[in-house]
Structure 1
Amino acid sequence: MVNYYSADIVMTVSSAPIRQGVVAVNGEGVIEGVYDSHSIPDGVTVKKLAGVLIPGFVNTHCHLELSHMLGKIPQHTGLPIFLSNVIKDRNSTEKNILSAMKKADEMMFKNGIQAVGDHVNSAISASIKEKSKIIYHTFVEVIGINNAELQAKIDHARDIEFHFDADHSSITPHAPYSSTKMMFKAFKKAIAEDNIISIHNQESDEENKLFRYRMGDFLTFYADQGIDMSGFKAQARNSLQSYLPYLPASNKIILVHNTYMSLKDLDFINRMNKKVILCLCPKANLYIENTLPKIPIIEQDNLDITIGTDSLASNDTLDMLEELKTIHAHYPDVDLNKSIRWATLNGAKALGLDADLGSIEVGKTPGLVLLKNMNQLRFTKNVQVERIV
């Protein structure tokens, strides 16, 4: 059976918005047709929806396995203290972790999320993902501070990856502050060209201080964790410029957060000629560091931008609409059409899912999401999301 839905505006994302557009979708969620008001097939019943119809969201960055940590960590601590709290408080019973992940997965689907890029340190989320209505790309994190253990760490990540969908999983360095130069080199040799990389980048200015001057709160974090950093030398440049040369040129590289990324960093990325995508997680940035990336500067660059929610350890919900509202509340001049593309098609491209997701096009299964109470196409606090398909 094919259902026909009309909306005040249909934003296909891949083409111009259609006023009073109509979308035909079959029982399997496949788009059968996209019409303007003059080309609707004769004799069909159209269900009218009040609002803006868009494809399902793609959440490019999450940590589903931290869902049980909702409300456990204080806000505005800064990243090093936040990480210490995660390490200290993340343990719980398997039952509690699974229950929280199931609720978080259902929350994301209800909130219109069609696909998720999810970071893991274990295989505990595999059973949830296998039964989920959401498509997950799982990023298994490699943390390599001790050079003597690098190959063992990579091998362990491969063992974890085995539990997830082979077509939608990859291993990735966790962050520059949890990796060494030798680890990046070993990682580069260990992966194939289709291995998507997703690395936490410049989430805190303390990260840049560490790499530029070998000073700041990360040294205290390492000492508290019993990690010997005596061999680490100041690089006299930001973290991004210190590690990006060691990542492969042929692989997609999603840089997550970018809260303290500078114009010089953006210029450096462009000169490196790598396949870099920038993922923004605004609510998590406010939760941890109480600041946001310089989005007006970032969006002037020629790099693709995507959006993520991060985890319930650093957010009070997993809701892409709330991320969009946050961006537009702080940067009202950001173009709405562009930001919806960040939250849909760009994310699908980043995760290698754009053949099926991210835009309303015939043959795709992107899901359909209705944005209600849109006043003059603005993301006000009154806008709500409703999943249609």
Structure 2
Amino acid sequence: MRKISASYIFTGKGKLLKNGILVIDDDGTVIDLIDTKGKLTEISSLEHYNGILCPGFVNAHCHLELSYMRGMLKKTSNIVGFVKQMFIKRGGYEGDIFEEIAKADKEMQLNGIVACGDICNTEDSFLIKSKSKITYYNFIEVLGLKENQVSNKIEKAKQIANEAINSNSGIVSITPHASYSVSIPLYYEIKQIAEDNKSIISFHNQESKEEDELFVGEQNELYKFLENFGLNKNTFPITNKSSFESIAQYLPQNNNILFVHNVFTNSNDIKSANKLFPNHYWVFCPKSNLYISNTLPNIELFKNENDKICIGTDSLATNNSLSVIDELKVLQNNFKNLSIEQLLQWATLNGAKALQMDNKTGSFEKGKKPGVNLIYDINLQALKLTEKTKVVTVQQ
């Protein structure tokens, strides 16, 4: 048994506990959480740290299989520039892909990540995941614009899903990629699978302004690029609405659904999400957004969505680290009104709820085994992260 204290404890939600005490079993299971009201007395075998203790982080969006692409892609100004580079360079790596995946998994562990929602287009990451301390939710991603390929796309996704299950690499679901990359018949197939299995959906949403433009009939740079893969004027209806509102009807409404990126999401989209998707979550990956489009989501629009916001790192193709604390720094630096409590809730409990892992992780509650992180080198007076702020695992 360990008794651990720090300058502050963040429990998963609510205010920080000053000089609180966390009691955990040898395997990390929470036994008790003591609010000392800030008055810490001498206790036998008590560990005390300067900084903030919080539950292990949940990385709600990653592409672990792309870890070999670290540093391979140049920063771009829009999604088309990024996707073009991906197609050119994704198959040309001559090193050990599995070694890079293993390194990335270890990097996440060292950065205090205990659970991860990971996008999978291949089977490459499953062996590493089966041996990892991180709990993974594997989103088998499907994309395809040609209607005559729907059955093949679904069959391939099911094969990858079965490989994930057979390798014990975590929970599995089949999910659509994005508004611009999935045909209507393919949407319906994926929707049916999700509804039948009550599985979670992870959906790349409004990462670029070009996505919205497609649904008002603009034959923009993205449209012209996608013509190479079967897009034509009949693929999507011209709705004169945002991409979010245009495709909402093709997504399962009662499942947990993670909308990822949301860089160009507007207030009407948020209202629609609350009306149509009672179990929706917004996943922000700010460092990736700056890499691809040099633009961040308007976090102010989401001020009433505090319990629905999660944090992701995206992949090492568009990021130089797999670190939740680094993502939080970017958000704090660009949105000064965000409190440390908000940021840490997004990074812990909300992500656990989104991935339906909150029965085990995300908060310091009796019986849970959430991992324990120490955030240090922070401004304890202002309760702000600094450029020097780091995280270390006190209990995995």
* TM-aligned CA distance change 1:121 to 1:363, over 3 Å: same
Instruction: Report whether the alignment pairs 1:229 with 2:232.
Output: yes
Query: Identity, % of aligned pairs?
Result: 35
Aligned residues: 387
Letter in 1 for 2:172: S
Q: TM-score, normalised by structure 2?
A: 0.93
Residues 346 and 302 from structure 1, CA distance in 2 versus in 1: closer, same or farther, beyond 3 angstroms? closer
The structure-2 alpha-carbon separation of the partners of 1:273 and 1:70, relative to structure 1 and needing over 3 Å to count, comes to closer
- Alpha carbons 2:19, 2:40 under 8 Å: kept: no
Match of 1:171 in 2: 174
1:44–1:221: structure 2 CA closer, same or farther, 3 Å change rule?
A: same
- Give the aligned partner of residue 388 of structure 2: 382
Measure how far apart 1:29 and its partner are: 1.4
User: Secondary structure of the equivalent of 1:153?
Assistant: helix
Distance 1:37 1:271, change over 3 A: closer
How far is the alpha carbon of 1:302 from its aligned partner?
Answer: 6.7
Query: Does the residue aligned with 1:7 lie in a helix, a strand or coil?
Result: strand
- Which residue in 1 is equivalent to 2:2? 3
Superposition deviation, residue 300 in structure 1: 2.6
| Distance apart, 1:301 and its partner CA | 4.0
C-alpha contact 1:193 1:251 (8 A) present in aligned 2: no
Task: Assess, with a 3 A threshold, how the Cα gap between structure 1 residues 3 and 125 changes in structure 2: closer, same or farther.
Answer: same
- Name the counterpart of 2:296: 292
Per the TM alignment, residue 40 of structure 1 is displaced from its structure 2 partner at its CA by 8.6
Distance 1:37 1:230, change over 3 A: closer
From the superposition, tell whether residues 273 and 71 of structure 1 become closer, same or farther in structure 2 (CA, over 3 Å): closer
Q: Which moved more, 1:131-140 or 1:32-41?
A: 32-41
1:276 corresponding residue in structure 2 = 280
Return the letter of the residue paired with 1:8: S
SS in 2 for 1:24: strand
Structure 2: tracts of 5 or more residues without a match: none
> What is the deviation of 1:327?
0.2
Equivalence for 1:131: 131
Give the whole-Å Cα distance in 1 for the aligned partners of 2:124 and 2:114: 21
Aligned pair 1:55/2:55, yes or no?
A: yes
CA offsets, 1:211-262, max 9 Å, x none?
Answer: 2223211122124x35342423432111111111121222111100000001
Partner residue in 1 for 2:258:
254
Structure 2 residue corresponding to 1:328, chosen from 332, 341, 361: 332
RMSD of aligned residue pairs (Cα, Å): 1.9
C-alpha contact (below 8 Å) 2:174/2:193 kept by paired residues = no
Residues 183-222 of structure 1 mapped to structure 2, 5 A cutoff = 183-191=186-194, 192-222=196-226
Question: What is the rounded CA distance, in whole Å, between the counterparts of 1:7 and 1:194 in structure 2?
Answer: 40
What is the TM-score with the length of structure 1 in the denominator? Answer: 0.95
Paired residue type of 2:72:
K
Q: Which amino acid aligns with 1:277?
A: Y
Determine if contact 2:254/2:277 at 8 Å carries over to the other structure.
no
CA distance in 2, matches of 1:94, 1:152: 29
Given residue 374 of structure 1, which amino acid in structure 2 is its aligned partner?
A: I
Contact 2:2 2:24 in 1 (8 A): yes
Moved more, 367-376 or 311-320: 367-376
Q: Distance in 2 between matches of 1:77 and 1:17?
A: 39
Whether the 8 Å CA contact 1:63–1:120 is kept in 2: the answer is yes
Cα shift at 1:273 = 4.3
The residue type equivalent to 2:265 in the other structure is M
1:383 offset after TM fit, Å?
Answer: 1.2
Residue 372 (1) aligns with residue 376 (2): yes
Question: Which residue of the partner structure matches residue 13 of structure 1?
Answer: 12
Counterpart residue number, 1:148: 148
Specify the SS of the correspondent of 2:301.
helix
For the residue of structure 2 that corresponds to 1:172, the secondary structure is strand
The aligned counterpart of 1:28 is 27
Correspondence list, 1:87-106, <5 A: 87-92=87-92, 96-106=96-106
Question: Are residues 7 and 235 of structure 1, via their aligned partners in 2, closer, same or farther at CA, if it must alter by over 3 Å?
Answer: same
Cα deviation code 1:155-193 (max 9, x no counterpart): 211110112247611010011111122221222223324
Which stretch has the larger CA shift, 12-21 or 107-116? 12-21
Q: Answer yes or no: is the 8 Å Cα contact 2:15–2:341 preserved in 1.
A: no
Match of 1:319 among 304, 319, 323: 323
| Deviation of 1:84 (Å) | 1.6
